[in-house]
Amino acid sequence: MSRTAELAESLDRLLGRVAAACRSAGRPLESVQLLPVTKFFPASDVDILYSLGRREFGESREQEAAAKIAAVTTPEPVRWHMIGRLQRNKARAVAGWAHVVHSVDSARLVRALDSATTDALAAGTRAEPLHVLLQVSLDGDPERGGVSAADLSALAELVSGTESLVLDGLMAIPPLGADPARAYENLADLHSRLLRTHPGATALSAGMSGDLEIAVKYGSTCVRVGTALLGTRPIN
C-alpha cells in the first residue's frame, strides 16, 4: 500500500471516530478539530495530509518543526501548532512559525512569547497575534508541565493583558495511570470556570489517539492525533 493510501485510510477511520463521538455527545461535527501531530514524521507526510484536506498540524520540538516547515511543499501555507513543552529560550523561534501554542504554563513564558511576538509583528515576519492555550496540570506534577488550577486565573489575566497574545482556551494531558474520564471531567469544570471571566477562551485541546471519544464527551474542541493517523513513530 502506498503512503498516500495508508494515510487516507487512517484519516477516514479517525474522522469516523470523531463523527461518532460527536453524535454520541450530541455535538455538531464542526465543533471538534482533528489535529494531526506530525512530530518525528517527514515533511512528505504533511504534503500528503494537505492533499487529503488537512490544513493544520501539530509539532512538539522547535528545531524539528522549523526544519519541517521549510521542507513542506504545500501550495498554500498551513497553520502550525506548538503542542510540546516550550522553554523560554525557544519563544522567539516559535513566534516565527506557530499560529497557536498549546503549552503555555508560566508567567515567564507568557512574557517571553509576548515580547517575541510583538517584535515579529513589528518586523513583518508574522501578520497576526499569537494564539495561546494555557496548559493546566491535572495532577500537580511540575515535571509534566502545566499551571496549577489555583494559579490558572492569574495566568489567564496576564495573557489577556498582553499586547500580542490571544487567549484561546485550555490544554491538558491526563495524569499517567489516571482514569481519563475523571481527568477530562475535571478539565471541563476548569474550562467552565475560565469561560465565566474569559468568554472568548472557547478552545479545549484534549484527547489523543487512545481516548479521543472520552475527551469529546467532556467538551474537547481539538483532539491531537499522531499514532492512530501516522503509525508507530520512528525511533528517534
In angstroms, the CA 102 to CA 179 distance is 22
* Structure confidence at residue 142 (pLDDT): 66
Question: What does the pLDDT average to over 126-135?
Answer: 97
* Structure confidence at residue 1 (pLDDT): 86
Residues whose CB is less than 8 angstroms from the CB of residue 71 and which lie 6 or more positions away in sequence, other chains included: 42, 43
Q: Are 103 and 171 in contact (CB under 8 A)?
A: yes
State pTM to two decimals. 0.96
* 227 three-class SS: helix
Q: Are 32 and 18 in contact (CB under 8 A)?
A: yes
In angstroms, the CA 174 to CA 172 distance is 7
**The CATH fold of domain 3-230:** TIM Barrel (3.20.20)
The overall average pLDDT reported for the chain is 96
Q: Are 38 and 234 in contact (CB under 8 A)?
A: no
Query: Cell 506530525 identifies what position?
Result: 38
pLDDT over 60 at 236, yes or no: no
